[in-house]
Amino acid sequence: MISFRDFAMRRGERLLLSNVDLTLHAGWRVGVIGRNGTGKSSLFAAIQGEVEADRGDIDVPNRVRIASVAQETPALDDPALDFVLSGDATVYKVLVAEREAVEREDWEAVAEAHHQLEELGGYDATARAGKLLHGLGFSPDTHERAVKEFSGGWRVRLNLARALMTPSDLLLLDEPTNHLDLDAVLWLEQWLLKYPGTLLLISHDREFLDEVTTHTLHLHDGKAKLYTGDYTAFERQRAEHLRLQQITHEKQQAERAHLQSFIDRFSASAAKAKQAQSRVKRLAKMVGTEAVRMERAMRIEFPAPVKLPHALLRLVHADCGYGDHVVLDDVSFILEAGDRIALLGPNGAGKSTLVKSLVGELELLTGERGGHPDLRIGYFAQHTVESLHAGVSPIDHLAEIAPGVPTQQLRDFLGKWNFPGDRAFESVDGFSGGERARLALAMIAWRKPNVLLLDEPTNHLDLDVREALAEALSDFAGAIVLVSHDRHLIGLVCETFWRVADGVAQPFDGDLDAYAVWLRTRDNSNDGKGAAASKAAAAAAAAASAAAPAAKSSRKANPLKLAEAEKRMAELESKLHTLDMDLADPTKYAGGGDNAAELAKQREKIAAELAKAEAEWMALYDAA
């Protein structure tokens, strides 16, 4: 389907790829991998005709329909649902024509539009767009929100949904799991497995690649080599290839010993808890890949904490949330030295809220937060990378938190985090997202924390750095609380899982596979209202129980009106929760905070409407 013949491509003075001769066949799902800067995104641009080859040809048949994710989303007034629908331009044009015909009461035009929809098979287009939004974490009440009202991360999801809506024979996805949580990643996996066309996928998520891909295209040292199989199969084939090149036996044995110690260190704990079976599965994939791992040759580390008390941090009967809105109810959470806890849960359920409450960034609504006097927290939030200072170098960033430390000592430390030589003195303005994330982690490591609270630390990190981070975290002596969509990282690092869902945070007695099963069976209604409706119903039941002794036995509430009132309460709760999520997004405070102020006004209005709806419900019950 796609053929490269003596293909070569440059970016400026740098040769990215040369002498590429290979063919990708229809129906393949190809993972495109390689270190940052090897030409993965440039290859996608060449396939789409956006850049020309410096030599040779790419043959993509003219009839092939290509879909890809846009890099930018304009600040549109269009509702989210319409934006996704417009991915299928032909069907969307007919749907718009139908709406306009209905508005002007032109019934002949309406009939013609219906005829066209039938020919195009477009009657289910709106439902398909809604399912895409639901799968990527958008609650139903957000489907009609204007695109411009969403934050940057949510606009990335909208672009992804629009690309998936676009009819295509070839789908190009560049880091699609960035800005997704684990639930959305699992959903996307299933969608891609059913995709009938050809898929080219750039990703640094090895579990995602293993689940989705049938072939692997490795870009390395200006070459592109095609392997049959998923990422794990690639590693084993690559390892064999490197062994055939007679890599130094002593170095290979040293790496084998390092990996074996990594495995042995967790064999005992794996036998103690069934949750640790995730770790066993992931470690098993790494056996026999010593040569590939040695080729990466990247090591990072979190220094041993200065002090490591046993009891580090706790929440006792804590209600966590924003303002008057409780996201998590009655949380009791104890963190001790050596704990490695992964937080699992649906998008928006409160994982980040729990982490912020543990850090102390978010005040508890009720309950108690306690920490040991020697507690020292290293906190990586989803907005940490954006908080780096423009125009400032890594060494200046580090010097700011390490006043008086000799420059050479700072350079040595940054060198361990792969900022060698003059790289330590370059402005972060020219750094990639992965380099910025690595610098933020290095600054955390410098402080020698005894607790690491990490909320999606792997966004933008390439596979080499992710592997190095997994090993560094596994060696870390303190406690870890991790939120991540990278199952490989979770499986290697974490021994205990907590599930955050439906307003509750509690231990989860199972592994990552068990969580995926729970997620699929949790709510198959796809309307996203189950949690809100059940909460409203529970509140209604409690209020009815309290009111029962005072009610006259002859009274009977109107069931229909009560049901409508409960539905209204559920809808308002859902809107309130969405606004709370937006208010918790640091990007909303950019540019002077006008956007955040408007959101705060909207929240105040919705909260007032909810209070009124609850009062009306009580009045209905008492005056039936």
List the chain domain ranges.
1-65+168-229, 77-158, 235-285, 311-522, 559-623
**Which one of 3.30.470.10, 3.90.190.20, 3.40.50.300, 3.10.20.30 gives the CATH number of domain 1-65+168-229?**
3.40.50.300
pLDDT attached to residue 83: 94
pLDDT above 90 (res 197): yes
Please, what CATH class does the domain formed by 311-522 belong to? alpha beta
So what's the pLDDT on residue 570?
62
For residue 297, the model assigns a pLDDT of 57
3-state SS, residue 78: coil
At position 316, the amino acid (one-letter code) is: V
Q: Tokens for 361?
A: 């960034």
| List of residues 6+ apart from 487 with CB closer than 8 A | 182, 207, 278, 282, 512
410-466 pLDDT, tens digit each: 999 999 898 988 889 999 988 888 888 999 999 999 999 999 999 999 888 888 888
Tally of residues, the chain: 624
Q: How many CB atoms lie within 10 A of CB 354?
A: 27
Cα atoms found within 13 Å of the Cα of residue 274, Cβ hemisphere only:
7
pLDDT of residue 275: 53
pLDDT of residue 132: 94
* pLDDT single digits (tens) 476-516: 999 999 999 998 889 888 989 999 998 999 999 888 888 88
Which stretch, 198-202, 221-225, 595-599, 610-614, has highest mean pLDDT?
A: 198-202
Distances (CA, A) of 309 to 129, 266, 340, 370: 51, 22, 15, 14
Which DSSP helix (H) or strand (E) runs through 411?
Answer: helix 407-416
The tokens describing 203, both together, are 């990703």
- How much is the pLDDT for 623? 53
The arithmetic mean of pLDDT across residues 172-187, rounded, is 90
Do domains 1-65+168-229 and 311-522 share one topology? The answer is yes
Q: What percent of the chain has pLDDT over 70?
A: 78
Flag whether pLDDT at 571 surpasses 90. no
- State residue 221's pLDDT score: 84
